[in-house]
Amino acid sequence: MSEIVSFTREGEIGVITVANPPVNALSQPVRAGLKAAVEAGLADDGVQAMVLICDGATFIAGADIREFGKPLAEPSLVPVIDAMEAADKPIVAAIHGTALGGGLEVALGCHYRVAVASARVGLPEVNLGLLPGAGGTQRLPRLVGAEQALEMMVQGSHVPAPRAQQLGILDELIEADLKAGALAFARRVLAEHRGVKRASELPVAPVAADFFAKFEAGIARRMRGFKAPFHIIKAVEAAVNLPFAEGMQREAQLFQELMGSSESRAQRHVFFAQREVAKVPGLPKDTPRREIRQVAVVGAGTMGGGIAMNFANAGIPVAVLEISREALDRGLGVVRRNYETTASKGRISAADVERRMGLIRPTTSYDDIADADLVIEAVFESMDIKKEVFRKLDAVCKPGAILATNTSTLDVDEIASVTGRPQDVIGMHFFSPANVMRLLENVRGKATADDVIATVMELSRRIGKVGVLVGVCDGFVGNRMLHQRNREAMFLVEEGAKPEQVDKVLYDFGFPMGPFAMSDMAGLDVGYKVREERRKAGKVEPRESRWIDQIVELGRHGQKTGAGIYRYQDGRTPLPDAEIEQLIERCAREAGIERRDIGDQEILERCLYPLINEGAKILEEGIAARPLDIDIIWINGYGFPAYRGGPMFWADQIGLKNIVAAYRRYAEQLGAHYWTPAPLLEKLAREGKGFYDL
């Protein structure tokens, strides 16, 4: 037997132990080891039943995703599981940690399943653009019914053990030691002559004739663009309508289709990238961390309140500072209402609301935050005000406290320069709403110390965020790239596209909404102020599009004023507005632009290629360390569809030479100013490489 899978005996019970850290993934040696162990148990006359258990932090967490896309090394998983299920000696899966994907499928192939109460089980393949391909789509519906199985697989949810027992996935919860409990359970199975219970031999409960069509209609909008959820429905349909063996064939065929799909390739890339961002190049793994036991947030506005909620949610005490009592009460009132709304939806309890509010300590005095290990400034976006706050923090905060700014546009180094401790200063750019959005751009200044970076990156995870480290520049990574897209979107409309056409092209590409619907939601006055500041500072662009500014000057600031680029009858649904169309036509005439019909492909290229080009500049300048950092920012902060893998991954799929060729075409048509490819983009295209070859 291999060291990775061992077979031992405890009296009449054979114990199969998997030890393949970190998550006991089903790599080839595990599959081969499982097969050999079951054969050993069957061949040994002294063995009457078997227990399958795992070492380390978890039961098997799934197939080894790193093997995907490579030629399959025998044995494949399905025959291994089939052999386990076919065994005539009972096999008991003993689960702790997470039994996920292929891991749960192995357990479903066992005759019984027991687990500790803290364990969770699930079939999350959908998150990798896949479906459970080792019998999960056929066995789970036989245990829990088609609807429950579909819910679990389409959501990819991790079901807590007590709930899994109620559903019939688990036979028993073990209160004390898992191994001892599983052995006792196996002995009881023998004593009670319960024999082997094979999931594949169970019938599937029938469903209504229109059940699958209705289920599909129910997820169609939310899951648009993703392929796997719809393939999962087809597989479960097969479980209901076909004998087990035929259902397995259908599952295999659908699984193979997904495995070869661009959607799954992209989602697998995202899975690893999402973990890779936490590892900062050049920052040793053992960099010491500063301890963060209490936090303070300066500013109780929408942003400050949202930021504070993240810490309270994670059980970390957080002080919130405002200048006036009134502003403080208003801010914390909003926080309380947010929590109460969540509680009213049943997502947290009333006691949770009080516990979290209890962790938030309001104050109007800087002296009260002197002991904080981390202070996050979230005041009005003005350099002068921020500098004033940092001078005060420098004066009162204890030595070693981390001083963070939530600025989204200002120079972190300039803010740090007013303190006597620039090494302790860092940017933590939360996205709005800060208690919901998972992205956190952590901005390293010139002087930021390594242990400050390491601490903040780790803390990001602790508060449930995806922290990505970026450097200082105008707009950092996300907004700097967004600016490129928004500029072209405005030009396109001036040249003849309709706002709703531009929005539809980007919505169909997979964004949750187009740039104009997004601007209306965020408020048009925000961008207006930025542009005004730029104009005042004499920063004139070679081409300025004035139509959105004229909309703002009409008092139409977006959804909050009931009208913006669109009009809103119900307050939320954007409707095209003839008045705005006329305004756009007039602006175009005044700018001497001859309007024309613009095709969807041009809209897509002109909105997204400049994003990629800016990404290339960001890489060249070292503002982002790797293309994957940019991809994760865009997926978590800007709704870039995960099934396209992020802008840089997507660019590689299109081929950089095709993007450069489009740049040349647009340079001829529109001038070179905005259409000169970044040197890095041009170089990679010339060499026939992609960003991920860097």
Q: How many residues does the chain have?
A: 694
Residue 63 in contact with ligand 3H9, rule: CB under 6 A: yes
Token pair of 605, please?
């290229």
Judged by beta carbon, residue 158 or residue 198, the one nearer ligand 3H9 is 158
Give alpha helix (H) positions in 87-177. Answer: 102-109, 136-144, 146-155, 161-167
How many residues bind ligand 3H9 (CB under 6 A)? The answer is 25
Can you give 167-221 as a three-state secondary structure string?
A: HCCCCEEECCCHHHHHHHHHHHHHHCCCCCCCHHHCCCCCCCCCHHHHHHHHHCC
Q: What is the DSSP string of 396-453?
A: HSPTT-EEEE--SSS-HHHHHTTSS-GGGEEEEEE-SSTTT--EEEEEE-SS--HHHH
Of the ranges 62-70, 111-119, 241-249, 641-649, which one interacts with ligand 3H9 (CB under 6 A)?
A: 62-70
Among residues 14, 33, 101, 229, the one that binds ligand 3H9 under rule CB under 6 A = 101
Shortest distance in whole angstroms from residue 287 CB to ligand 3H9: 16
Rounded to whole angstroms, how far apart are CA atoms 556 and 12?
78
**Closest distance between ligand 3H9 and the C-beta of residue 295, in Å?**
23
275 is an interface residue for ligand 3H9 by CB under 6 A: yes
| Complex with ligand 3H9: residue 23 or 150, whichever CB lies closer | 23
Q: How far is the CB of 4 from ligand 3H9 (least distance, A)?
A: 14
Q: Does residue 66 bind ligand 3H9 (CB under 6 A)?
A: yes
Q: CB of residue 347 vs ligand 3H9: minimum separation in angstroms?
A: 21
Nearest distance in Å: CB 258, ligand 3H9: 10
Q: Which of 85, 105, 488, 605 is catalytic?
A: 105
Q: Which 3 state secondary structure label does DSSP give 270?
A: helix
Which residue in the set 35, 41, 105, 244 belongs to the binding site for ligand 3H9 (CB under 6 A)?
A: 105
Is 105 one of the catalytic residues? yes
Closer residue to ligand 3H9 in complex, CB, 256/344 = 256
Please identify, among the stretches 100-108, 190-198, 227-235, 501-509, the one whose residues bind ligand 3H9 according to the rule CB under 6 A.
100-108
At 51, phi and psi to the nearest 5? -120, 135
Q: Which of 30, 38, 61, 164 binds ligand 3H9 (CB under 6 A)?
A: 61
Kind and range of the H or E run holding 315 = none
Give the active site residue among 85, 125, 495, 605: 125
Q: At how many degrees (to 10) do helices 627-637 and 647-654 cross?
A: 120
The interface with ligand 3H9 within residues 120-159 (CB under 6 A) comprises: 124-125, 128, 130, 132-134, 136
Scanning the structure block, which residue is given the tokens 């008045």?
Answer: 579
* Residue 694 CB, nearest approach to ligand 3H9 (Å): 20
d(CA 649, CA 630): 9
By CB under 6 A, tell whether 77 contacts ligand 3H9: yes
The answer to whether 121 and 161 are in contact (CB under 8 A) is yes
Residue partners of 444: CB distance under 8 A and separation at least 6: 426, 427, 453, 469, 470, 471, 472
CA distance 125 to 470: 31
* Chain centre to alpha carbon of residue 139: 29
Which of 563, 584, 479, 576 has the alpha carbon at shortest distance from 521?
A: 563
Rounded (10°) CA dihedral 299, 305, 307, 312? 120
Q: Segment contacting ligand 3H9 (CB under 6 A): 56-64, 79-87, 285-293, 655-663? A: 56-64
Binding region for ligand 3H9 (CB under 6 A) out of 57-65, 195-203, 532-540, 636-644? 57-65
Instruction: Pick the closer one to ligand 3H9 by CB: 250 or 421.
Output: 250
User: Residue 22 or 399: which CB sits closer to ligand 3H9?
Assistant: 22
User: Measured from the CB of residue 80, what is the shortest distance to ligand 3H9 in angstroms?
Assistant: 10
Note if the bond before 75 is cis, omega within 30 degrees: yes
Nearer to ligand 3H9, 85 or 520 (CB): 85
Smallest distance, Å, CB 98 to ligand 3H9? 5
Question: Is residue 319 a contact point for ligand 3H9 (CB under 6 A)?
Answer: no
CB of 458 to ligand 3H9, least distance (A): 12
Question: Does 100 participate in binding ligand 3H9 (rule CB under 6 A)?
Answer: yes
Give me the phi and psi of 444, to 5 degrees please. Answer: -85, 130
- ∠ CA 87-93-94, rounded to 5°: 155
CB atoms within 10 A of CB 380: 11
Q: Tell me which of 62, 471, 475, 690 binds ligand 3H9, using CB under 6 A.
A: 62
Q: Could you say which of 17, 20, 98, 448 contacts ligand 3H9 (CB under 6 A)?
A: 98
Sign of CA dihedral 466, 468, 472, 477: negative
Residue 612 Cβ vs ligand 3H9, minimum distance, rounded to whole Å: 26
Residue 608 makes contact with ligand 3H9 by CB under 6 A: no
64 lies in the site for ligand 3H9, by CB under 6 A = yes
Stretch that binds ligand 3H9, among 64-72, 138-146, 202-210, 630-638 (CB under 6 A): 64-72
- Residue 22 as a binder of ligand 3H9 (CB under 6 A): the answer is yes
Closest to ligand 3H9 by CB, 136 vs 478, is 136
- Give per-residue burial for 170-192: e unless 16+ CB within 10 Å, then b: bbbbbeeebeebbbbbbbebeee
Residue 639 CA to residue 657 CA, distance in Å, equals 26
Q: How far is the CB of 275 from ligand 3H9 (least distance, A)?
A: 4
- The piece of 63-71, 197-205, 441-449, 584-592 that touches ligand 3H9 (CB under 6 A) is 63-71
Indicate left, alpha or beta for 129 from its phi (over 0: left) and psi (-120 to 50: alpha). Answer: left
Q: Assess whether 125 carries a catalytic annotation.
A: yes
Range in contact with ligand 3H9 (rule: CB under 6 A) among 95-103, 193-201, 311-319, 634-642: 95-103
User: In the structure, how many helices (H) and strands (E) does the chain have?
Assistant: 28, 19
Compute the least distance from the CB of residue 263 to ligand 3H9, in Å.
Answer: 15
Beta-bridged to residue 94, according to DSSP, are 114
CB atoms within 10 A of CB 533: 11
Interface mask toward ligand 3H9 for 24-53; x: CB under 6 A? -x----------------------------
Report the DSSP beta bridge partners of residue 295: 318, 374
Interaction between residue 586 and ligand 3H9 (CB under 6 A): no
Among 18, 23, 91, 273, binds ligand 3H9 (CB under 6 A): 23
With respect to ligand 3H9, which residue has the nearer C-beta, 122 or 499?
122
Q: Which residues bind ligand 3H9 (CB under 6 A)?
A: 22-23, 25, 58, 61-66, 77, 98, 100-102, 105, 124-125, 128, 130, 132-134, 136, 275
- Catalytic residue positions, numbered: 105, 125
